[in-house]
Structure 1
């Protein structure tokens, strides 16, 4: 049946053309955006996962920036520590040179003074983004003064989202200068005159460090010590000058300190407490400017030599510098290990970011080869659909021939 009101062929062709046009719009959107899932309406599940992972990837990018900042802080501290180690090596060399007979110790001291001032300059300059890991307020400071950290990673797990950090605590083992006391590696006080030893002493309930005279086992035997079966001193005449009735306490291998009981009348078996027998009158520091004297010293001196400096004092100074050098080397090694960890973490975060990008791409990215092929086919179908609709529309024109 032929009708001029209802053209079934044209309606079918138009419906097909609409479907082809819709498919073309979708394919063109994939081609133009490069995404197979560009919105939640395309695939809600994949879109949700991709959106969350893109957010995590942005967080990882921030972690990379934080790692870069942390690496800069550690690099700065390490560079400063490494330079300080070299300077302290030179100070040690100058002190060794001063032990030679006939050398001008005054001239050597002039060089040492310049090296000491260089240590201060290094410490003050080793600052990045307002943080200095070579000098800090160790004495009387708060946790904020000493607790440092570097952001290491961003983690999403069953417990939620968290940021992991690499912690680094500034302490007497890794800081060159204590800005509020004498706990730094270069301003720790040491007695270089009476070969003393530092012990923590509890006096009337108050415990503090005391630099006291050190005795060997041979010394305490000479002093008249009598040992019991366990190797402890049962009695002594203390005839070496430490004082009548003074006993000894063993604080290390072949190391004893003179002692008296805290409360002799309380019990004959009461623990003996170390007391200062021959207090040091002078403690020494590697710094250029001496700090206030500690509890058991009447003065604290910056390390220096003169014509009057004895061989014993020089030997003590060399030991002082060598001890500080050993501690500084350990501190530099720790900074180096943290720097290595940050480098590894930076590399890992970079790889993880690439993996997440790849995973997101597998979920939502369009296959451009497939999309281009589909677009070409749809364009052909569209051309054929238009021709089919044109033919269907022209079919009704044949009715006109019936009326001629």
Structure 2
């Protein structure tokens, strides 16, 4: 093509190249600012859609963790109360055994009986106090625990049954009045202590099960978060290097455009 002041092919090519460089700079700066290589569906529809689905799963896992945490706290409160009740029943057994001594005088046995009754009342207080978030697993009317185990709404809930420690207190009946009834109380306490230990074991197993589910959910959440990062996170080291390269290209592009714009001026020399 000959010389022309109407059409500057070199300038148009230089401008196209500069525009492409500027567009690349905008993309890199966006990635550096957000830390994301896929910040919107316009960047990569497939990756963005997958990432959005995984983010939804993450939100569901947070709800599961929250549900499990509430269940864990409820069960742990019950475990603490049950352990205390177990300790008190051991003390009550010692009191009943002491009162079963036939050589003990009536006043001493009465004093021991008062201590025994105080311990029994303490059990009732512990049962009434072992409540968390409106649920009391040691009280018959305290309800049960049902927690989410996964984001699958059709999956069975993680449940912990009510242990009704009040039944244990009821089984103890009235306090002893003489050596014979004290011996009977010792036998009763041995039976009820076994029942308490069984209930305590049930609560302990439930607590460990919840701990295991919480640990699994936490690990699953970390894996999904890592998967999202693999899909959409920007490699800032590479983006930094790309930014410097594009900045150099931008400067060269500006110089090339300037040179191309000056080319038509050489036509003036033809008319001298």
**Structure 1 length as normaliser, TM-score?**
0.63
The Cα shift of 1:102 comes to 2.6
- Aligned 8 A contact 2:54 2:224 in 1: yes
Q: In structure 1, how many angstroms separate the alpha carbons of the residues matched to 2:196 and 2:117?
A: 20
Bigger relative CO (Cα 8 Å, ≥ 6 apart): 2
Question: Structure 1 or 2: larger helix share?
Answer: 2
- Aligned 8 A contact 2:139 2:165 in 1: yes
The Cα shift of 1:310 comes to 4.8
Which secondary structure does the structure 1 equivalent of 2:6 belong to?
coil
Cα-Cα RMSD? 1.6
Is residue 2:237 matched to residue 1:369? yes
The equivalent residue for 1:85 is 86
The Cα shift of 1:132 comes to 0.9
Q: In structure 2, how many angstroms separate the alpha carbons of the residues matched to 1:135 and 1:368?
A: 57
1:162/1:21 Cα in 2 relative to 1: closer, same or farther (>3 Å)?
A: farther
Unmatched 5+ stretches in structure 1:
138-144, 156-160, 178-183, 189-285, 287-301
Q: In structure 2, how many angstroms separate the alpha carbons of the residues matched to 1:99 and 1:13?
A: 107
Q: In structure 2, how many angstroms separate the alpha carbons of the residues matched to 1:149 and 1:326?
A: 26
Structure 2 counterpart of 1:151, from 139, 148, 155:
148
The equivalent residue for 2:170 is 187
Tell me the alpha carbon deviations over residues 191-230 of structure 1, each in whole angstroms, 9 at most, x when there is no partner. xxxxxxxxxxxxxxxxxxxxxxxxxxxxxxxxxxxxxxxx
Give runs of aligned pairs for residues 84-163 of structure 1, distance below 5 A. 84-103=85-104, 104-137=108-141, 146-155=143-152, 161-162=153-154
The Cα shift of 1:162 comes to 4.3
Q: In structure 2, how many angstroms separate the alpha carbons of the residues matched to 1:111 and 1:134?
A: 23
Count, aligned residues:
268
- Bigger radius of gyration: 1
Q: In structure 1, how many angstroms separate the alpha carbons of the residues matched to 2:96 and 2:210?
A: 38
Q: In structure 1, how many angstroms separate the alpha carbons of the residues matched to 2:267 and 2:47?
A: 55
Tell me the alpha carbon deviations over residues 12-70 of structure 1, each in whole angstroms, 9 at most, x when there is no partner. 11111111111221222122111111111222111111101111111112222222211
Is residue 2:62 matched to residue 1:61? yes
Is residue 2:222 matched to residue 1:351? no
Structure 2 counterpart of 1:394, from 239, 262, 272:
262
Unmatched 5+ stretches in structure 2:
none
